[in-house]
Structure 1
Amino acid sequence: MMKLKKITGGIIATALITGLLAGCGTEKSSGNGSKDQDQIVIGMAMPSYEDWFTYLINGVEEYDKQHDDVKVTMVDAKNDSGKQLSQVETMITQGVDAIVINPVETNGLAPMVDEANEAGIPVIVVNRAPDEDVMKKIYAYVGSESLEAGTIQMEKVAEMLGGKGNVAIMNGTLGQDSVVKRTKGNKDVIKKHPDMKVVREATADYQRSQGITLMENWIQSGSKIDAVVANNDEMALGAILALEESGKRGNIIVAGIDGTVDGLKNVKEGKLNVTAFQDGYGQGKGAIETAIKAVKGEKLKDKFVNIPFELVTKDNVDEYLKKLGE
């Protein structure tokens, strides 16, 4: 696998399709020149070009560079669901062959999918899972099962705790499917252990800074906490910083999800005990491969194209750092 890096214009911004997405955000494409007659054009709507999404974008970029018969035109909604809707509507107007959506908010998917369906353009959703009604209307969902992530994360924490202890759960952005399922996976495991219980639970909005603040509040409350289990690495790293600053880390176990570079480095250093690696590169590549199948009219056996989560601890972290080119 090629080395992953932060997005710094790696997908070259061009005006390949006249007026495409003017005023609706940043457009990126790694194609060259105008559309060839036999070239498949895929519109890709991203919620952001920052943070974990850079791994997904790298997967798209590398695939696109290796296939001259495919052109991916990507836009950044800057976490604005209204802007993303406008961007998708412009893609429909321009007549792209397929649309891949990584939604800002999953509850905003329906109108985008409905408009694409009316235009006869197949839709692939990536990374953030749609609800059942939307799932029926799209060609496929490409992503990793968040319930699995929360389950394997908590199973490892339970093992490390010896099946007993007080757990604090840091939720990501409330309302997102990933938050609901990762937390459910956590709690389903805890239910199997009578001597384990959730003593604190609140959102830190998937942000490291909010993870620091939330952990500081929990420390000040005086609650006895044996493990902090976060919906992502960023919040987990925030919890670690707060614990270390207060001198309260001790033997508290801290677990995250995603397997970001920072997360993996902290696992290697022994600060973050557990993470579940989410293969963003694989999701990006898989989304484009699936979009091409949709354009070619191929039938899928399953609408859910699963890119599995993988448990990471200090014992196997080097393998995952290598995958990210570290």
Structure 2
Amino acid sequence: MTGSNLARRGFLFGAAGVGAGAVLAGCTSNEPAGSEQPQQAAAQGDNAEPGKQVTIGFSAPAADHGWMAAVTINAKQMAEQFSDVTLNATEGTNDVNQQIAQVESLINGGVDALVILPYDGKALTSVGRKAMDNGIPVVNVDRVFDTALAYRMWIGGDNYRMGVNAGYYIAQRLKDNNVSNPVIAEVAGLDSLPLTQERSQGFKDALNTEGFKVTRRVAAEFTPETGEQKTAQLLQAAPKIDALWNHDDDQGIGVMAAIENAGRDEFFMVGGAGSKNMMERIKADDSVIKATVLYSPSMASSAIAMARLIAQNKGMSDLAEHEVPASITTYSAVVTKENVDQYMDVGFDS
């Protein structure tokens, strides 16, 4: 993600959306209208202006997946945009005990705020609480801690809405093509994870609303290898498919390989997360992949921006409230050939 793209990313870290047009809070007295100026809730100023110097600690799992690698890249690149931020990033790890030790080291080092994407939210809850109890605000990214006492703010994706938007897009495209009784397939991620269950439920609910249902379903493990293996099995079991949703674009590398190896092109496919690789294929429009539903690692960029504001006791420039919100849920936009250029800046390398 380039500096210019980061700089233009609107309300989360840009300047003055509400600006001089302050938000009216309404009259608070019983005086006749016009007898005095109404009380106003003013916008919180220009967040891009340098404030006090702050050190932000950052901890995330190992970059063994394109999406996770992009989380750390985005966090570091966002920190570089601010002259008043020093980022102290630990080495990514999938060892829970090691991540706990790394966060404790950041706490002991006296950082002004922490941004943590825990490998395991439950396991990292205690160290999040330790930071908060020591007066260090924590921005919890994506995998949520067990209690809100462990974080000042949570920011993450909307897994249920991801499935909903994939389902609505597929249903609308099938209706536009006058396809009746379609065979709709799903290549999920790890079924044991709540995020997979939420994505599948959203997908099912949206399709049901439109009078459709999931006909064929397999579950992979968010890797290209399992994506290829499970999709090959799916294709063998289903001689005809009309539409397919794959939960994860990293996994999608293997899904696409299985489809191409089988010589299948009678259906269209929707991906998940928003990798640059899939966006480029959507733009080229020369394969079955026609859309992807965002679950963008740019949430890590936003987390750094929010941690900076919290550490500087600032609010968000586009909001009248004096404090940064307690939670932000990112939106799972559907990226198609028609709008792909708009979202290419948040794409990540699978």
TM-score, normalised with respect to structure 2:
0.74
Contact 1:145 1:308 in 2 (8 A): yes
- Name the CA distance, whole Å, in 2 between partners of 1:181 and 1:158: 19
- Name the CA distance, whole Å, in 1 between partners of 2:136 and 2:83: 21
Matches within 5 A, 1:299-310: 300=323, 302-310=325-333
Change over 3 Å in CA distance of 1:226–1:108 after alignment to 2 = farther
Is residue 114 from structure 1 mapped to residue 137 from structure 2 by the alignment? no
Change over 3 Å in CA distance of 1:250–1:325 after alignment to 2 = closer
Change over 3 Å in CA distance of 1:80–1:202 after alignment to 2 = farther
Corresponding residue number in structure 2 for 1:317: 340
Corresponding residue number in structure 1 for 2:292: 275
Which amino acid in the other structure matches residue 226 of structure 1?
D
Aligned pair partner of 2:161 in 145, 148, 151 = 148
Aligned pair partner of 1:181 in 171, 175, 198 = 198
Corresponding residue number in structure 2 for 1:65: 80
Q: Name the larger-Rg structure.
A: 2
Q: Give unpaired runs (5+ residues) of structure 2.
A: 5-51, 315-321
Change over 3 Å in CA distance of 1:213–1:65 after alignment to 2 = same
Contact 2:245 2:271 in 1 (8 A): yes
Which amino acid in the other structure matches residue 2 of structure 2?
M
| Structure 1 residue matching 2:90: 3-state secondary structure | strand
Corresponding residue number in structure 1 for 2:144: 130
- Name the CA distance, whole Å, in 1 between partners of 2:165 and 2:54: 38
Q: Give unpaired runs (5+ residues) of structure 1.
A: 5-37
- Name the CA distance, whole Å, in 1 between partners of 2:326 and 2:58: 19
Change over 3 Å in CA distance of 1:189–1:54 after alignment to 2 = same
- Name the CA distance, whole Å, in 2 between partners of 1:264 and 1:134: 36
- Name the CA distance, whole Å, in 2 between partners of 1:49 and 1:304: 25
Corresponding residue number in structure 1 for 2:256: 240
- Name the CA distance, whole Å, in 1 between partners of 2:120 and 2:187: 20
- Name the CA distance, whole Å, in 2 between partners of 1:232 and 1:325: 12
Change over 3 Å in CA distance of 1:140–1:177 after alignment to 2 = farther
| Structure 2 residue matching 1:55: 3-state secondary structure | helix
Cα offset, 1:117, TM superposition? 2.4
Which amino acid in the other structure matches residue 189 of structure 1?
A
Q: Which has the higher contact order (CA 8 A, sep 6+)?
A: 2
Is residue 80 from structure 1 mapped to residue 95 from structure 2 by the alignment? yes
Task: Map Cα deviations across residues 16-72 of structure 1 (whole Å, 9 max, x no partner).
Answer: xxxxxxxxxxxxxxxxxxxxxx63111110112351234333432233223232111
- Name the CA distance, whole Å, in 2 between partners of 1:167 and 1:93: 52
Change over 3 Å in CA distance of 1:164–1:124 after alignment to 2 = farther
Aligned pair partner of 2:307 in 272, 277, 291 = 291
Corresponding residue number in structure 2 for 1:197: 213
Cα offset, 1:224, TM superposition? 4.5
Change over 3 Å in CA distance of 1:77–1:292 after alignment to 2 = same
| Structure 1 residue matching 2:234: 3-state secondary structure | helix
Contact 2:218 2:231 in 1 (8 A): no
Cα offset, 1:187, TM superposition? 1.2
| Structure 2 residue matching 1:47: 3-state secondary structure | coil
Percent identical pairs in the alignment equals 25
Contact 2:297 2:346 in 1 (8 A): no
Cα offset, 1:172, TM superposition? 2.0
Which amino acid in the other structure matches residue 307 of structure 2?
A
TM-score, normalised with respect to structure 1:
0.78
Give the number of equivalent residue pairs: 289
Matches within 5 A, 1:189-268: 189-194=206-211, 196-222=212-238, 224-247=240-263, 249-268=264-283
Say what the alpha-carbon RMSD is for the aligned residues.
2.7
Contact 1:228 1:236 in 2 (8 A): no
- Name the CA distance, whole Å, in 1 between partners of 2:296 and 2:237: 36
Task: Map Cα deviations across residues 162-219 of structure 1 (whole Å, 9 max, x no partner).
Answer: 274222222223444432322222111122133x222333321111221110011112
Change over 3 Å in CA distance of 1:319–1:285 after alignment to 2 = same
Change over 3 Å in CA distance of 1:297–1:2 after alignment to 2 = same
